[in-house]
Amino acid sequence: MVTTTQKQRVLIVDDQKANLKILSDMLRPEVDIVLAQDGEQGFRKACELRPDLILLDVLMPGIDGFEVIRRLKHEAVTSAIPVIFITALNDVSHEEQGLLLGACDYINKPFHSVIVKARIQLHLQLSRQRMLLEQLAHLDPLTAIANRRKFEQVLLQEWRGAIRSQRPISLVMLDIDNFKLYNDQFGHAAGDRALQQVASTLSEQLKRPFDFIARYGGEEFVLVLPDTPAPAGQQLVQQCLQAVLELQIPHLPAGQVLSLSAGGISFKPGQHDVAEQALAAADQMLYQAKHQGKNRVLWTSSNQNGDC
C-alpha cells in the first residue's frame, strides 16, 4: 500500500555536539532525528535506518564528509538518499566537489534557521514524492500488492542475505486453479474481483514483516519467506490454500469453490547458487501439483547440507 502519513527521518552527522543540538532542536517538531558524531557512525546508521535525508558535515575526524558520501552512493540501500552538506567552508571548489559526488545542496555555518528549515523541507518533500513514485512503480494496480519488478528486487536482496547468514530461504509459486474457465464462465470483472480477494487473503496469512508476496503475472503469485525451513514453509502455504477455500468463491463444476495449487522449495544457498534456479524448481513443483489434481502443495528441499 502507498502511505504518506509516516513521519520522515533525518540523520545528522557532525562531530560538534553544539551543531547536533542546534539542528536537532530546530527540526525535531517536524521529523524524527537520528544523530551521529563521526563519519563511520553516520555511514552505519544510514545503512541500518535508511533515513529520508542526511545532513552531513564536511570536516570531521576520521573519514570526512566527502568519503562518507562516496560510500553512501556506492551502497545500493543508501545511494538514493539525498545528502545536504553542512559546512563552515566558504570555498567554491569544495562545494563543486560535494555536488559532483552527489550532494543535493549545501547549508553554511553559522545556521540561519529560516533558510535551514526551508531547504530541508524542500528536499524532504522531493524525497516523499520520489518514494511515492517508487511505490507506485512497484505496485500491482489490480491487487494492490507488489508486482513482479519489486519481487525481483526482493528476491535478490533476500537471497544474498541468506547466503551471508547461511539460513534457509523458502520460495513459493501459487496459481489459481482453472482460472481461464472461471473467467470464461463468470466474466473478467468477476475474475478481477477474485484476484483481489485471493491477493488480500494471502497477504493476511503472512504475519512476519519480512515475509513477502507479489503478483507474478496473471493468476500467479509468489512468496519469499526468509529464514524459513521446509516444515514451516509448507505449514504456512497449507494455511494459505485453506484460507482461499474458506472464501467460498463459487467455481465450476457446480458446487466447487475457487482453489489454489502451490509449489515450494526450501534452500540454504551458497555463493555459487542462483536464485532463478531455485525459483524454477518451485515452479516445477507447482506444475506437478497441477497435474496431480490441483488444490495441493508440493515441496522440495535442496541444499548442500541436506538440512532444510
Distance CA 150, CA 154 (A): 6
Mean pLDDT of 67-86: 93
Residues 26, 27, 32, CA angle at the centre, nearest 5°?
145
pLDDT at residue 66 greater than cutoff 90: yes
268-274: Cβ within 8 A, 24+ apart: 268/162, 268/166, 268/167, 268/168, 268/169, 268/303, 268/304, 268/305, 268/307, 268/308, 269/159, 269/162, 269/163, 269/169, 269/303, 270/163, 270/303, 270/304, 271/163, 273/163
pLDDT at 297 over 90: yes
The three cell numbers locating residue 82: 539525498
Please identify which of the residues 219, 220, 246, 276 carries the catalytic annotation. Answer: 219
Quick: pLDDT tens for 98-113.
999 999 999 988 898 9
Chain centroid offset of residue 60 CA: 33
Q: Which residues pair with 298 in a beta bridge?
A: 263
Residue 304 has a pLDDT of 44
| Burial class (CB within 10 angstroms; exposed 0-12, middle 13-18, buried 19+) of 222 | buried
The alpha carbons of the chain give a radius of gyration, in whole angstroms, of 25
Q: What is the pTM of this model?
A: 0.65
- Does 40 participate in catalysis according to the annotation? no
Cα dist from 28 to 21, 35, 81, 198, 204, whole Å: 10, 11, 19, 42, 35
Q: For residues 307 and 275, which has the higher predicted lDDT (pLDDT)?
A: 275
Domains and CATH numbers, the chain: 9-136 (3.40.50.2300), 148-301 (3.30.70.270)
Total count of residues recorded for the chain: 308
The pLDDT tens digits of the residues spanning 110-152 come to: 898 999 999 999 999 998 888 888 778 899 999 999 999 999 9
Lowest mean pLDDT across 65-79, 125-139, 177-191, 240-254: 125-139
Q: What's the DSSP call for residue 212?
A: E
Query: Confidence class of residue 1 from pLDDT cuts 50, 70 and 90?
Result: very low
The whole-number pLDDT of residue 303 equals 55
| Amino acid letter, 211 | D
CA–CA dist 265, 287 (Å, integer): 13
**Considering only CA atoms, which of 265, 306, 256, 267 is closest in space to residue 286?**
265
